[in-house]
Amino acid sequence: MEKEQKINQLLNSQPQGVVYLSSWLTEKGFSTQLLNRYKKSNWIYSIGPGAWMRMGDQPTYQGGVFALQQQANLNIHPGGKTALSLLGKTHYLELSTKQVTLFGGSEEKLPAWFSKYDWEIKVNYFSSSFLPPDIGLQAIEQDAFNLLVSNPARALMECLYLTPKKQELVECYEIMEGLNNLRPKQVRELLEACKSIKVKRLFLYMAEKAGHDWFKYMSLENIDLGKGKRSLVKDGVYKSKYQITVPKTLENYE
């Protein structure tokens, strides 16, 4: 009875709809044997090795990401166009195309239970350290819990990181056009910490092309733009200020 009260208290301590990790439950004093007993008693059910749900709750990828962030202390988060969609910053609602983009640190992998579970939505996961894990994130409300997602500036940088193979450059520019109220200090902090020369040059080129007011207040002196020319496409247009060759469709986009 005491153990039943304990699991009940623990389940109720977490928001509805989140995944419970075995590793986290073990830390709280619940053995695998005990968890299997709760499963037989219909308190919880398994959605894969090391992951449980409260009976009656339906798993969502957001509830899975919450567990990775809050229980496993991982830096995995919705990024790119998915973050922009969740923030209501773009009409390219990636969620409607049945896929989401997650980013994590270069040493972080999605656990098997997450990658193998059928979320009824395609999950694209990218692990990279081109941006530090601790800047450019913000909390948003998702159903009964808060989730950390990329803020608009970081989300666009993540889109640019995926160009040109996995993300259209012109679409990135269309997103940039909509980001007319970014904070120069916030943007500068991200650009100074960013390790991708391609991302930094493209971001600044697009910000200047879009003519945003906040760009006028940007200090570029501590942003390392590297040396040498970079070409993203063959037969494009060379922009000497940022030493990049961009597609003609992007340069001529009005």
One domain for residues 215 and 120: yes
One domain for residues 168 and 67: yes
- pLDDT tens readout for residues 180-225: 999 999 999 999 999 999 999 999 999 999 999 999 998 888 999 9
One domain for residues 225 and 108: yes
CB contact set of 107 (below 8 Å; sequence gap of 6+): 127
Residue 165 phi, psi dihedral angles, 5° rounding = -75, -40
| Number of separate domains in the chain | 2
One domain for residues 136 and 110: yes
CA distance 22 to 107: 21
Residue 124's SS3 state is strand
Taking a C-beta distance cutoff of 8 angstroms, is the pair 165, 172 a contact? Answer: no
One domain for residues 204 and 78: yes
One domain for residues 129 and 194: yes
- What's residue 51's pLDDT? 97
How many Cα atoms occupy the beta-carbon half-sphere of 215 within 13 Å?
A: 14
In terms of pTM, does the model score above 0.85? yes
CA distance 237 to 231: 9
Structural domain including 84 reads: 61-251
- What's residue 13's pLDDT? 83
From 54, 72, 90, the end of a domain falls on 54
One domain for residues 200 and 74: yes
Query: What's the whole-number average pLDDT of the chain?
Result: 92
| Cis bond upstream, residue 164 (ω within 30) | yes
One domain for residues 16 and 108: no
- pLDDT tens readout for residues 90-126: 665 555 568 999 999 999 999 999 999 999 999 999 9
